[in-house]
Structure 1
Amino acid sequence: MVPKVMIILGSASDKEIAEKSIKILEKLQIPYSLKVASAHRTHDKVKKLVIDATNLGVEVFIGIAGLAAHLPGAIAAYTHRPVIGVPVDGAIGGLDALYACVQMPFPTAVTTVGINRGDNAAILAGEIIASYDDAVKERISDLRLEYQEKVESGEKELIESIEGEFFQKDFLTGENYEKIEFKELPDTPDVIILAGSYSDMEISKNVAILLERMQIEYKLDYISPIRHAKDFESYMSKRNNAKLFIAISGLSALVAGSVVALTEKPVIGVPCSKKLDGQDALLTMANMPPGVPVGTVGIDNGRNAAIVAGEILGISNKTIEENLKWIKYENADL
């Protein structure tokens, strides 16, 4: 059997991070393979592994590396399938690895999750596969419910442990919180581009231009979960049958976090350089907690977000796949 996911470690010392991915892939019942190959020390092995795996039908790659974490980028250079980068904390808190993974030039995209977040990489891989596999889609829903229940049980345990005299233990307990009712629109396109501000228009246009060239149906909207909180939830409830979301945001990057909280579809985050050169948005997008991954591309790099969308949709759509390959391998200067 050809695995759907290939995990490549830059070093066997990254085993602990890989085990997080393995645990999730086993739970989602997704066939996977694991290899160890260094972008610097065994470059030819990386190249052959990725080319052969792509030709044989592997659909998603997870590259795990620390320090000068060039492995995910090296993988992306030899495939037109989605590559998820997992930066490892080998030094300086893993920031070196994070920047090496996420700040890739167009059109060689790596969609990056948080530092040491092998679990989120596997969940994102599952969401990608779930875009055309209903069985995996159902298991993703079950997994998200597990994470929700873990939060609830943690709250209960914490409350039981507090013995303060003035602690109002029973305040707002046992509440049945209102769930968002999804009223999906039948004409929702495959991709929703969602920007939190009109100041993000230029980046949004860059995404749209590439999606047009790959013949991917999309919708572009501007709505803020901060300024229009109720409208945002209503909007998401109607658009949740899109196959993936591209969230464009600067500063706290709450757009990406709000989108991923309200969908089980893949979310690609584009951090914008409004303050701190975009590092604030980058760090908050990539370093999402377990269970809710945002696959993050480089700062202001809307074009790579479009490439990732093409890689995801190209798995099950031959036209998109061919258009993506034309852009990636023959016209990278577009």
Structure 2
Amino acid sequence: MTESAQVSIIMGSDSDLPTMQGAIAICQKFNIRHEVAIISAHRTPERMVEFAQQAHDRGIQVIIAGAGGAAHLPGMVAAISPLPVIGVPVASRHLSGLDSLYSIVQMPRGIPVATVAIGNAENAGLLAVQILAANRPELLKQVIAYRQELKNTVLEKQERLSQIGIANYLNQS
């Protein structure tokens, strides 16, 4: 684990890494110090407990936890750590990630886990950045600029659609 990381991106299995890449990319885009680790709630429970107990002492400020199937990792980490935890439901072969989503969002009172859409680790990364930006004016400016970029992209697409028409737009997309 990285001593200077602000965000910890954890997952239950290496098969979750392609999904979690979205959160990693956002941390990189915003120059957020982060760490990435495989921590299984079921196969390495002692490691999970140790991680959750010590994360805040190491300077971690937000935890992003991805998990598929039973998806216990985000909730168990949230039950142990005082830090905000963002759960990323990872799509499964059998139930398309609905099992993961239900597992993560159905937390008991007093143990919140913020949850993003199935497979949307990018939004988990953005939420982590926004949490950090609440006390960092320069980072908040970056978030505002990012939102403006999103707006500009939509406006550019609309302008293109208006200029070339629906059929040509669909053919060029």
Give me the TM-score of the superposition, normalised by structure 1: 0.47
2:38 maps to which of 30, 36, 39: 36
> Match for residue 228 of structure 1?
none
Partner SS state of residue 80, structure 2: coil
Aligned twin of 1:277 = none
Whether 2:139 is the aligned partner of 1:125: answer no
Deviation at 1:154, TM superposition (A): 2.4
- Evaluate the alpha carbon distance shift between residue 42 and residue 148 of structure 1 in structure 2; reply closer, same or farther with a 3 A threshold: same
Distance in 2 (alpha carbons) for counterparts of 1:163 and 1:69: 42
CA distance in 1, matches of 2:163, 2:96: 34
- Is 1:138 the equivalent of 2:141? yes
* Equivalent in 17, 20, 32 of residue 18 of structure 1: 20
The one-letter code sitting in structure 2 at the alignment partner of 1:30 is I
Q: Which residue of 2 aligns with 1:58?
A: 60
Structure number with higher helix proportion: 2
- Equivalence for 1:112: 115
In 1, Cα distance between the equivalents of 2:42 and 2:26? 28
Q: Secondary structure of 2:48's match?
A: helix
Q: CA RMSD in A?
A: 1.5
Note the C-alpha offset of 1:44.
Answer: 1.0
Q: State the match for 2:86 in structure 1.
A: 84
Query: 2-side partners of 1:68 and 1:57: how far apart?
Result: 29
Identity %: 37
Which residue of 53, 75, 78 corresponds with 2:77?
Answer: 75
Where does residue 96 of structure 2 map in the other structure?
93
Structure 1: which 5+ residue stretches go unaligned?
165-334
1:9–1:151 distance in 2 versus 1, CA, 3 Å: same
CA deviations on 1:103-145 (whole Å, 9 max, x unpaired) are: 1012111111111110110111111111111111111111111
TM-score, normalised by the number of residues in structure 2:
0.88
Displacement of 1:162 after TM fit? 2.3
Gaps of 5+ in 2: 168-173
Structure 2 residue matching 1:149: 3-state secondary structure: helix
Q: Supply the distance in 1 between the matched residues of 2:160 and 2:69 (Cα, whole angstroms).
A: 38
